Amino acid sequence: MSDVTVLGSGSWGTALAVLLSKKGYKVHLWGRDKEKVETLNRTRENIHYLPGVMLPTGIVATTDLEEALNAKKYVILSVPSAKTRQLCKNIKGLINEDQILINTSKGIETDTLKRMSEVIEEELVDKSPQIAVLSGPSHAEEVGKDIPTAVVIGSKNRKVAEEIQNVFMSPKFRVYTNPDMIGIELGAALKNVIALGTGIADGIGYGDNTKAALITRGLTEIARLGEAVGADVRTFAGLTGIGDLIVTCTSMHSRNRRAGILIGKGDPLDVVLKKVGMVVEGVTATEAGYKLGEKYKISMPICQQTYEVLFNNKNPKEAVVELMMRQKTHEVEEVAVQDKW
């Protein structure tokens, strides 16, 4: 088997390293914090980000990028989306066209509104590595404990997608392929916005009816925007659409939902981020989603109201009232038109 490196020793990077090590791959797990990396090698446990999951002996943690990338065919990028561009700049001189890069972060760059695969391509254009994205409803806490999970691999190159499918596939980790990278990446990023919104509703004290409304209408917003930017709307009926929404909006493993709950209870955003203690991708995704909606003139009321709560200190209950009392409309405009109501 070819060696693998995972760049990013947070919860998700660690869980994927464990998964691949159990399959027999020799894995280098790269992290920036020397003390945490040394602790990880000594204790065989990522006590900071994935406690309770022991690391197989086939995993070696390192802070040395050159060591991590040397002679590795498969390079997994598992850093927060806001750090992806800088990481690509750092590895540019250490990779080659024979390597396959698999991005696992879920986000959109707020300044450029680029998806992560676009950022990677832009920074590594002269290196020409093959690029894939891995996404879907997959909490690190569960993957690390071998709880059955299904995800999707996207790539412009079918052979690359199928090769990565084989790399990750296991009895506890089922992998599908999909050529629609736009849909996969948009669904992965924007579901975090809806998770923040459902968390806020939970924090206010609303119930399952509210959550169901936010999830289903949130999916409509994501699909509406996705279609405008070139995604296949069928993708959003899959793992990186409705699947990701279900798991992120309903589970306490979701840091986006947990952050939303605290906001709904009245905590300011800066306090919330400190309490969560890890990156809450939904915050930057909300800003990016709001900007994309404005750019493409797409109606995204849930995203807009979440943006107002996060960045303009809008009262969450007032935001809910505005969502409920917007102009009346059909649930599916196309159906109503076709039926000639």
Q: One of 72, 106, 127, 191 is an active-site residue; which one? A: 191
Which residues 6+ apart lie within 8 Å of 145 measured at CB? 52, 53
Please provide residue 102's backbone torsions phi and psi, each rounded to the nearest 5 degrees: -115, 110
Q: What 3-state DSSP class applies to 66? A: helix
Q: How many CB atoms lie within 10 A of CB 326?
A: 11
Sheet holding 4-7, edge to edge: 59-62, 27-30, 4-7, 74-77, 100-103, 130-135, 149-155, 173-178
Active site residue 265: no
- The amino acid at residue 58 is G
What CA dihedral angle connects 115, 116, 119 and 123, to 10 degrees? -160
Q: Are 101 and 130 in contact (CB under 8 A)?
A: yes
The secondary structure of 114-168, three-state, reads: CEHHHHHHHHCCCCCCEEEEEECCCCHHHHCCCCCEEEEEEECCHHHHHHHHHHH
Q: Which residue has the tokens 């990077």?
A: 13
Instruction: Indicate which residues carry an active-site annotation.
Output: 191
